[in-house]
Chains A and B, each alone.
Chain A
Amino acid sequence: MLKESLISEFQKIVGKDNVLTSPEALKAYSYDGTTSWIHEPDVVVFPTSTDEVSRIMKLANAEKIPVTPRGGGTNVSGGSVPWHGGIVMVMTKFNQILKIDKENLTATVEPGVVLQDLTLRLAKEGLFFPPDPQSFLGATMGGIISENAGGPAGVKYGVTKQYILGVEVVLPSGEVIHLGGRTLKNVVGYDLLHIFISSEGTLGVITKAELKLNPLPQARKTLCVVYDDVSVAGEGVFRVLENGVIPCKIEMVDNWVINRIEEMMPIGLPKDADACLFFEVDGIPEVVEKEAQKIAEITKQYGAKEARIAPNMDEANKYWLARRAGFAAVFGKAKQVFAEDVTVPRGNIPKFVKKIRELAKKYDVEIVVLGHAGDGNLHPAVLTDPANKEHYERALKAVDEIIESAAVEFGGVLSGEHGIGLEKQKFMRKVTEPAVINMMKGIKALIDPNNIMNPGKIWE
C-alpha cells in the first residue's frame, strides 16, 4: 500500500480521473498477454505528457517505489506485469501522432500510439512503419520499442530497432534525455539509443520516438507452397533467399495447424500436407509479379509439391487470415500453450524442425510449428494442461530441450521477438555468459541506482 499523501500527489500531477486505486482497477492491470504471470500494482496512473512522467518519476524515485511502464499490455513475456507492485504507468492516453514528415520519411509519436492506428494514418500519406508485431491491434509504440518487437515482415525489413532514429526518455531520476536523433546515420559516442530499445522498461520511460518510415509498396503477391515434408519446407525458406528473391514474409504452418485451421474455417488448405509456406512479396507491380513466379520455380525445384500463386487479393487475404487463425487454433485446443520464441539461423531450420518432431515423440506431447520461418523465428508451441500433472511435467521438459537445442546446438537465441520479461528468465540465466549479465547489472545500476524501473525482470 502506498501512502495516501502520495496518491494525492499523483492526482495533483495527472488529475483525479487518471489515478486508479480501486481493487478492480488494480486487478485489471495485474496481467499482460501471458497466461500465468500475474501481480497487482498499488496504483495505476495515466500520464499524458513528458512533464507529468518526469514529476511522477521524481516522486517514485524519492520514495523508492517500483514503476512499471505499460502500453496496450499485449506483450507475451510478463514484461508489463508489475512484479514488485508499486506504480503501473499506463501510456494509452499519451497517444498523439505529433508529426508525419514525408520529405524525411519520418514520424514523431508519443508512446501510447497504437501501431494499427499509426499504420492507418500513414497509409493515407502513402507511407508505412515496417515492423509488424502481430499484436498490432493493441500494441503501443512505447512497448514496441521497449520490447524491440518484430513480426513476419522481419525477413525483408528487419525489426523495430532498425526503424527507431531517436527517443526521448525520462530517467528514474526524472531527468529527460534525448538519444539518437532524426538522421539515418549517427555515430556520436556510444550507441545508447539501442540500450533503451529492448530494455523492457527497466531503464526509463520512453515518452517520444522518432520513427523511420518507408513508402508503402504499390503491389503485393501471395503464394501458398505445399510440402510433403516439414524439413524440406524448412529448406525452401533459405533456398528462395539464396536464389535471389527476398520476400517480405515467409510463414510456416505444419500439418496439425493446417487441419485445425480447416476445422475452424475451411478455405481449402491441403489437409494431407506435412507443411505449407506462405510467401508474400511486395514492391513495384511488375517486379512483384516476376518475384512470385520465381519463388514458385525455386520452391518446386527444391522439393515443394505444389506452389499456388494467389490470383487475386481475395485469395491472398484468405491465406493470411488462415495464418492468423492458426494462432487462435493452437490456443483454443489446449488449456495451456508454451508458445516458444526461439530463433535459429535460417540455414538450420530443417534440422531444427526435425529436432522438434523428435522431441514431440520423445516426450509424447503435441508440439506444433506456426511461425515466421523467414527469419528462423519458428514459434514451436507445446500444448499441455496444468491439471494433468504428469503431462505438464513432460511438456516442461520438452520446452527446456527445445530452447537448449535451439540456442546451443543450432546457434540460435531463446527469444527472437517476445523478450525475456519473466517468462524466459530461467533460460536466460542458463545460456548467457555471467560477464554479460554482470555488464547488464552494471548498466542498470548506473541508470537506475534505486532499482525502481520494472524490477524483477530480464536478468534479475
Chain B
Amino acid sequence: MKDLKELKKIEQFSDQCMKCGFCSFFCPVYQEEKMETSVARGKNYLVKQILAGKQEFTHEMADIIGKCLLCKRCAANCPAKTQIDRVVVAARAQLVKEKGLGAIKEFAFRKVMANRKAFGKYARLMQKFQWMMPTTEGKIKHLPDFVKGLGKRNFPSLAKTFLRDQIKPVYKPQNGEKPKMRVGFFMGCATDFVYPELGLKLIDFLTRHGVEVVVPEDQNCCGAAIYFSGDLETGRMLADLNIKAFKDLNVDYIVTACGTCSSTLKDYQKYLPDTEEQKERYTEFEKKIKDSTEFVIDILKIPPEDFKLRKEFEGKTVTWHDPCHLVRYQNIKDQPRAILKALKGIKYVEMPNADMCCGMGGSFSVYHYDLTKKIAGKKMDGIKATGADIVVTACPGCMINLIDNVLLNKMPQKVHHFLELVE
C-alpha cells in the first residue's frame, strides 16, 4: 500500500461531500468550463478514488487538482460543509511528495521565494531588465515559465527602491506619547517589491494613531503560493522563520496590508502542521495576526469621523472588491465597508458579486491565464455595473490582477488599496 499520509489527514473532510453538486453554481472555474472535473464534487471524488487505490497521480490528475483557484466559494456555500480547500491542498501536497515539485516550482519556491535575500536579489535583477519586458503576448522565451507568465500581462513595475531598503526597524507614535500598543509589521512580497508605499502608508497610519510599529528584518515570504501549491515542507520552513522573526519582539499584534498574507499567516495551523507541537505553535501565532482592515476597525476601533479622505479622491465614486482571502478565509467583509462608508467626500456603491474571485488564484493565473481572463471578465462586468471611478481592495495580489484586466477591457477605473484613500 502506498503511503498516502497527506491525504489520510483530510480523509474525514473528503467524506463529508454528499455529491449534491451545488458547488457547481459557485465555482468560477466550473462556470467557464462546465465540466465535472473542474468542480469541487469531481475533484473530491477523484481524491477519494486515490485514497481507495483506484486512481493514480497521472498528469491529467495533477492538472485537475491544479485547476482550482482555492477561492473557497464552494466551501462557503457547501450544505455539507465540506472543506474542499483542505482536500485540494492535501492532494497537491501528496502529489509533490510523490512526483516532486517540478524544476520551475522547485527553483521558484525553494531557491528564490523561500530565501528573502535571494528573492530580493532576483527581484532586483528583474527590476533592472523590466524595461525590456514586452507588453504583448508570448515574446519572452528565455525567461523561466513563471516569469514568462507574468510578463505577458499588464504587470505593475517593480518598485525603484524595495520596501526593505527604506524601512526602519522601529517607528514610534507620531504624537510622541507612550504607545498604546506595539505591533509587528509583516511586509509580504508584493508590498515589499511592488507596492512599498503601501507599507509606509500603513506604518504612517498606525503611528499616527498612537501605535508603535516594529519591523523585523528576518521576516520572509508568507508562503501562500508555496504551500497552496503543495510544498508544505517549504511552507513549514517559512512558517518557522516568520514565527521566529516576530518571537522576541514582544508585540501585541502582527499586522499586514496584504489580505493573502494575513490569511496565510493565520492558517499555518490549518494547512501545515505535521506534529502536535507545530499545531500548537502555529495556533499560538495565529492569535496575533490581524489584517490591516480588521485591525483599524476591530482593534484600534477608530471612529468613523477619524477616517480622513485624501484630497485627490474627493467626489469619486468607489466600490469594494472582496479578496477571497479576506471574505472567506477570514470572514472580513464588514470592516472594509465600514471604512469606505466612513470616508466623507466619496460615494460608496456596492458591486454585484463583490465576493467573486478576481481570477488570480496565485500561481493559478500563471498556468491558466486564459481562464483567469475569463473569470476576471465577469468581475469587470460587476465593476462596470457600479459606475464607480475607483475599485478599492486590500490585497496586492487582487490589485495586480484587477489592474491587468481593467486595462485589457479598456475600462477607465483605477484600482487602489484602501490605505491609499485615507490620510
Contact = CB atoms under 8 A, between A and B. Distances in A.
Contact of A28 (B24, B25, B36, B81): B36
A331 B80 contact: yes
B64 A33 contact: no
Given A23-B55, A24-B55, A32-B19, 4 more contacts: A28-B37, A29-B36, A46-B35, A90-B35
B45 A93 contact: no
B34 interface: yes
11 contacts: A24-B61, A24-B64, A28-B45, A33-B18, A33-B20, A74-B21, A74-B22, A95-B34, A325-B79, A328-B18, A332-B81
Contacts of B46: 24, 27-28
Contacts of B55: 23-24, 27
Interface in A306-342: 324-325, 327-328, 331-332
A93 B34 contact: yes
Interface in A69-83: 72-74
Interface of B: 16, 18-26, 34-37, 42, 45-46, 49, 54-55, 58, 60-61, 64, 79-81
B70 to A, nearest CB: 19
A214 interface: no
B21 A25 contact: no
A349 B22 CA distance: 30
Contacts of A34: 19
B19 A46 contact: no
Contacts of A331: 18, 80
Contacts of B80: 328, 331-332
A11 interface: no
B60 A324 contact: no
A92 B37 contact: no
The secondary-structure label for the interface of chain A is loop
Given A27-B46, A32-B19, A72 B60 contact: no
A138 B79 contact: no
A72 B24 contact: yes
A135 B22 contact: yes
Contacts of B20: 33, 74, 135, 138
A431 interface: no
Nearest to B34: A92
B19 A24 contact: no
Contacts of B49: 27
A324 B79 contact: yes
A370 to B, nearest CB: 13
A450 interface: no
Contact of B16 (A90, A93, A327, A332): A332
A328 B18 CA distance: 9
A31 B18 contact: no
Nearest to A34: B19
Contacts of A137: 21-22, 24-26
A25 B37 contact: yes
Contacts of A31: 19, 45
Given A28-B36, A28-B37, A324-B79, A35 B24 contact: no
Contacts of A92: 34-35
Contacts of A27: 45-46, 49, 54-55
Contacts of B45: 27-28, 31
A328 B81 contact: yes
A328 B21 contact: no
A325 B80 CA distance: 9
Contacts of A325: 79
A95 B32 CA distance: 12
A306 B30 CA distance: 45
A35 B19 contact: yes
Pick from A35, A72, A138, A325 the residue with the most CB of B within 10 Å: A138
Contacts of A112: 34
Contacts of A49: none
B240 to A, nearest CB: 36
A46 B34 contact: yes
Contact of B24 (A24, A138, A332): A138
B103 to A, nearest CB: 24
A253 interface: no
Nearest to A93: B34
B377 to A, nearest CB: 17
Interface string A181-215: 00000000000000000000000000000000000
Contacts of A46: 34-35
Interface string A366-405: 0000000000000000000000000000000000000000
A22 interface: yes
